[in-house]
Structure 1
Amino acid sequence: MDTTNKLPLDMLYHWETAKADTLYMTQPVGNGKVVEYTWKRAVDEARRMASYLKSLNLPEKSRVGIISKNCAHWIMSDWAIWMAGHISVPLYPTLNADTVNYILSHSECEVLFVGKLDDWDMMKSGVPENVRCVSYPLSPPNDFETWDDIIGQFPPLEGNIRRDADELATIVYTSGSTGRPKGVMLSFGNMAFAAEGGMEVLKVGSGERMLSYLPLAHVFERTFVELASLYAGFQLYFAESLDTFVQDLQRAQPTLFLSVPRLWVKFQHGVLQKLPKEKLDKLLRIPLLNRVIKKKVLKGLGLDKVKLAGSGSAPLSHDVLDWYRNLGLELLEGYGMSENFAYSHMNKPGRSRTGYVGEALPGVEVKISDEGEILVKSPATMMGYYKDEEKTRETFTDDGFLKTGDKGEVDEQGRLKITGRIKEIFKTSKGKYIAPAPIENRLMSHEAIEMVCVSGANQTQPHALVMLAEEIRPKLADEAYRREIEESFKQLITDVNKTVDPHEQLAFIIVVSDEWSIENSFLTPTLKLKRNVVEDAYQEQIESWYAKRQPVIWQ
């Protein structure tokens, strides 16, 4: 089907009739049970919820929030909000009460859909009293009006309500590694352009299957899962919980699979726990056996049907990329921001280059500024920041290019390499500048390391703070094992220091005992490291660490 100039709601009405009885969403509801939604059922429930929203007589284009882990109702709520003439405001399901309050107050939300959440008790005090709440079937206990009661009482909204391309569709509050989140305003036209372009490049059809589990509040999942399924008409499955993730994957048998670096590393660690790297490498070198082993490993991960696997939101280490490619899974890295609805660059199958995030997607213009900053422009670029004209002005060049804040370079085939964040680059006491990201990528090749932060502003040489992988930490009680890890880290420093310039060579590695998590604010909701929080947490110990002059220090 030609989707050119079709907006999200147009696509919805198309599938409502063209694939009325085709299965669209499969939602686990506990105890191995699932609820299935055909296109007709999903759109009918959304139309009924839109009738309810209309009945509230809210001001035109009111903001309506969604706070929930991914589920079928999240997507139906988004549609209902649009059909009712309003603007959706997604909130991450891991936010604290203070941030919930800031977003709902700043966006002046009138209604909030409260869904599947692990820690609603922590969040609920952040919801202003004047906000009307609606509860999903999988919500924590509450006394709000319920989705099922509402759709039982209200008739479906009649007719096909249309919205204009330049109308505001959603305000996405960036997870921000520093400061208050900013409200990125995205139009229906921005969304349509990104979804169409992504499908064109990936050659996605209606026969695909995807598991939706990265937060839908993030543009990466919203573009390539919610919107892509709307434009291609393919099937979506949801994950029940972290504990059932493997079963959820095996139920979905996805043909397309997206993840973020931290999870790709976790999957790899899980495999290497059962089958050590040396043994796996040896088996993969045996001609007749290697295909069987590759299939077995991918089947164990639930990824044996995947024809296209992607990684985004942060760089993935070369070693991890190569490891998956050796298994026959070509991981394609992409690059985008909330400000361009995750639509900027992507590696293409057969044309990817390790260490690069790929070529500009159709319709994207890119240039590198004199300072080395990546500047991009496309019809997917945001309308601006909500209620912040000054910040909007600062974020664009005079000729309308979006300043990404990332430093980069482009190779002869037009593939982009991210060389660091402009704001993350720090200066040593010798006056030399260091971009931490490339060094961090090299350190991440060590299988015991889950997260790393290279720092050292105003010191003679940089250092690295590392958090060990979850399955490694309990083994440290064994003194011999701990010594083995320490020796391997000494070797890692030697190996990394051979590949970098003298001023970038690491003085030491600190093995932290803390857990860096979303809950203690070390990570953003998309699992990116909040560099300033990590650095502040260890600031008082830095001088004593440098004074020790040891290659590996246990915190």
Structure 2
Amino acid sequence: MTSGLQERSPLACLYHWKKTQPQTVHFVQPTGGGQVSEYTWAQILDEVRRMAAHLQSLQLPPRSQIALLGKNSAHWIMADWAIWMAGHVSVPLYPTLNADTVRYILEHSGAKLLFLGKLDDWPAMQSGVPASMPIVRLPLSPEARGESWSELIADTAPLQGEPDRRPDELATIVYTSGSTGQPKGVMQSFRSFQLCGSLLNELFPLTAQDRMLSYLPLAHVAERLIVENASTYHGFKVYFAESLETFVNDLRRAKPTMFFSVPRLWTKFHLGVCAKLPLKKQRLLFRIPLLGRKVKRKILEQLGLEHVRIAVTGAAPLPAPIVAWYRSLGLDLLEAYGMSENFAYSHFTRPGDAKTGYVGPPNPGVDCRIGDNGEILVKSPAQMMGYYLAAEATAEAYTADGYFKTGDMGEVDSENRLRITGRVKELFKTSKGKYVAPVPIENKLGAHPKLEVVCVGGANQAATYALALLSEDTRKQLGAGGDRAVIETELVTLMEQVNTGLDPHEHLQFITVVREVWGIDNGFLTPTMKIKRNVIEKHYEPQVERWFRSGRPVIWEGA
């Protein structure tokens, strides 16, 4: 990091890079058909200054909320910076929300204007945007009403000087992904961006020579921290993904040196490799010294991760066998833990000090303790300013001495490394009157190569059970005439193995293979690909009693 840069605001960092590296390419944006547009620091700052000048010309009240709706792109981040430079507050929305949630966030936040970016299904969201709300269309946005970013900056002179923001000012309102109930607006200050820009470098050194691929939603604090904010402070190049279909090519173009993903995607990568090269064969090949190294290198090359020196997983637990598999390839997969309320700055596994199943010790400046009920309590330098328009909810979120109540349960080992054991509110009682923590059971089941995601239930039932979505490759095999009986035998064996490690009251009675694919679009997963437990349980609840009565260990929904 350039000396003294860590003491500056994000906007001050932009001015620094424009002065010191004006012709260095910072953003690489796919534009379709294998083509890309490159943006230097000089080009970026010119566009940001022009859009900031346009926003100021609208004479909105000082520190107005301005919304950002779109998939990751160079102009998404430019719009974020322009909002700040103009003296306002950014409100990012996930690009997969339904119209009702879009409407709720826009109304609740009091947004005065919407930047509309790249989207897959704008018609499904369009009715959630008030007809009276001004819209600025970013490059790559769908056809919509409103003004064009490109035309506005062509007609607007750049804002002069170096306008800046104070550390204690509100920078952004991040609406939580809402795994239960309506999303809450988490208020984060510029101090959080500044502190994280500095402190992140103490965990792993970043330089302007690093590269990252941006594809997880920038509306989520983790991507905002690790990609947008880290690149702002360290100046490394950011590549953007075009689509799911082009993801592999996007990854190979970027050749990332740092790669951040969520468990669902790490699992899909793992399942994809194992479908082509079964685990049993991998183990045999890995034992052969020279050939083993070549095979491991080839796997990483096929994934586009051969240049990665820092690999991070977060947002939810990743089954221990999958973590161990990546580490066996030579990829030191580091687990991280944090949330919107502390700008994802809480715990991080240190390189060379990984312990499978643990998310590492507290980050520099973070204090953590375990409450009397087993809840993880955290005090972070990036703690939120509070929930927007929700003083009561803000007060309830903290202990009397200022620790944030995470809602997660955990335990700490002798080296102060944290292990997440479940959610406080996800504990449920069976009819036997004993509590069950579903997450550890889900992690054990989810390590099986034929399962993509699992949800364990059993509240007020005589026993627990699991709902399981088969992996994509397994679903394709069945669709092509594969034998269910083989999969059923494997699932029975899996359930018996898992049950041997559980207390009697936790034992699974059956596994139901669900028919519908759980996704973000149909509401079963949050935008960060965590299961929406309440939605899943409600959807399958009418069938649970019948499944229990069937007495079968494996049930195929709809069969």
Q: Which TM-score tier does this pair reach, normalised by the shorter chain? A: over 0.9
**Contact (CA 8 Å) 1:110, 1:130: kept in 2 or not?**
no
Deviations 1:133-179 (A, max 9, x none): 00012011123211110110111110000100000000000011011
Compute the displacement of 1:476 (Å). Answer: 2.1
Compute the displacement of 1:127 (Å). Answer: 0.5
Match status 1:366 vs 2:368: yes
* Residue number in structure 1 paired with 2:416: 414
Unaligned runs of 5+ in 2: none
Secondary structure, aligned partner of 1:508: strand
Supply the distance in 1 between the matched residues of 2:17 and 2:207 (Cα, whole angstroms): 14
Compute the displacement of 1:478 (Å). Answer: 6.5
Instruction: Identify which range, 268-277 or 38-47, moves more after superposition.
Output: 268-277
Supply the distance in 2 between the matched residues of 1:403 and 1:224 (Cα, whole angstroms): 23
* Residue number in structure 2 paired with 1:397: 399
Amino acid at match of 1:463: Y
**Contact (CA 8 Å) 2:96, 2:527: kept in 1 or not?**
yes
Compute the displacement of 1:203 (Å). Answer: 1.1
Amino acid at match of 1:343: Y
Match status 1:153 vs 2:133: no
Compute the displacement of 1:252 (Å). Answer: 0.2
Which residue of 288, 296, 313 corresponds with 1:294? 296
**Contact (CA 8 Å) 1:65, 1:113: kept in 2 or not?**
yes
Compute the displacement of 1:129 (Å). Answer: 2.0
Supply the distance in 2 between the matched residues of 1:482 and 1:4 (Cα, whole angstroms): 57
Supply the distance in 2 between the matched residues of 1:117 and 1:490 (Cα, whole angstroms): 42
Compute the displacement of 1:479 (Å). Answer: 6.6
Compute the displacement of 1:452 (Å). Answer: 0.3
* Residue number in structure 1 paired with 2:81: 79
* Residue number in structure 2 paired with 1:98: 100
Compute the displacement of 1:477 (Å). Answer: 4.8
* Residue number in structure 2 paired with 1:123: 125
* Residue number in structure 1 paired with 2:434: 432
Question: For residues 480 and 364 of structure 1, do their structure 2 counterparts lie closer, same or farther at Cα, with a shift above 3 Å needed?
Answer: same
Compute the displacement of 1:21 (Å). Answer: 0.8
Amino acid at match of 1:309: A
Deviations 1:282-303 (A, max 9, x none): 1111111011111111001100
* Residue number in structure 2 paired with 1:531: 533
Matches within 5 A, 1:277-426: 277-426=279-428
Question: For residues 390 and 484 of structure 1, do their structure 2 counterparts lie closer, same or farther at Cα, with a shift above 3 Å needed?
Answer: same
Secondary structure, aligned partner of 1:419: strand
Compute the displacement of 1:402 (Å). Answer: 0.5
**Contact (CA 8 Å) 2:135, 2:145: kept in 1 or not?**
no
* Residue number in structure 1 paired with 2:238: 236
* Residue number in structure 2 paired with 1:269: 271
Secondary structure, aligned partner of 2:425: coil
Supply the distance in 1 between the matched residues of 2:211 and 2:529 (Cα, whole angstroms): 25
Secondary structure, aligned partner of 1:126: coil
**Contact (CA 8 Å) 1:195, 1:224: kept in 2 or not?**
no
Match status 1:46 vs 2:42: no
* Residue number in structure 2 paired with 1:250: 252
Question: For residues 17 and 423 of structure 1, do their structure 2 counterparts lie closer, same or farther at Cα, with a shift above 3 Å needed?
Answer: same
**Contact (CA 8 Å) 2:335, 2:358: kept in 1 or not?**
yes
Secondary structure, aligned partner of 1:507: strand
Unaligned runs of 5+ in 1: none
TM-score (norm: length of structure 2) = 0.98
Supply the distance in 2 between the matched residues of 1:522 and 1:434 (Cα, whole angstroms): 22
Amino acid at match of 1:289: L
Between the two proteins, what is the percent identity of the paired residues? Answer: 56
TM-score (norm: length of structure 1) = 0.99
* Residue number in structure 2 paired with 1:494: 496
Compute the displacement of 1:4 (Å). Answer: 3.5
Question: For residues 480 and 205 of structure 1, do their structure 2 counterparts lie closer, same or farther at Cα, with a shift above 3 Å needed?
Answer: closer
Amino acid at match of 1:135: R
Secondary structure, aligned partner of 2:130: coil
Compute the displacement of 1:125 (Å). Answer: 0.8
Aligned length: 555
Instruction: Identify which range, 120-129 or 82-91, moves more after superposition.
Output: 120-129
Match status 1:11 vs 2:36: no
**Contact (CA 8 Å) 2:6, 2:233: kept in 1 or not?**
no
Deviations 1:488-546 (A, max 9, x none): 00110111011111111111101111111111111111111000010011111111111
Question: For residues 226 and 477 of structure 1, do their structure 2 counterparts lie closer, same or farther at Cα, with a shift above 3 Å needed?
Answer: closer
**Contact (CA 8 Å) 2:7, 2:198: kept in 1 or not?**
no
Which residue of 460, 463, 476 corresponds with 1:461? 463
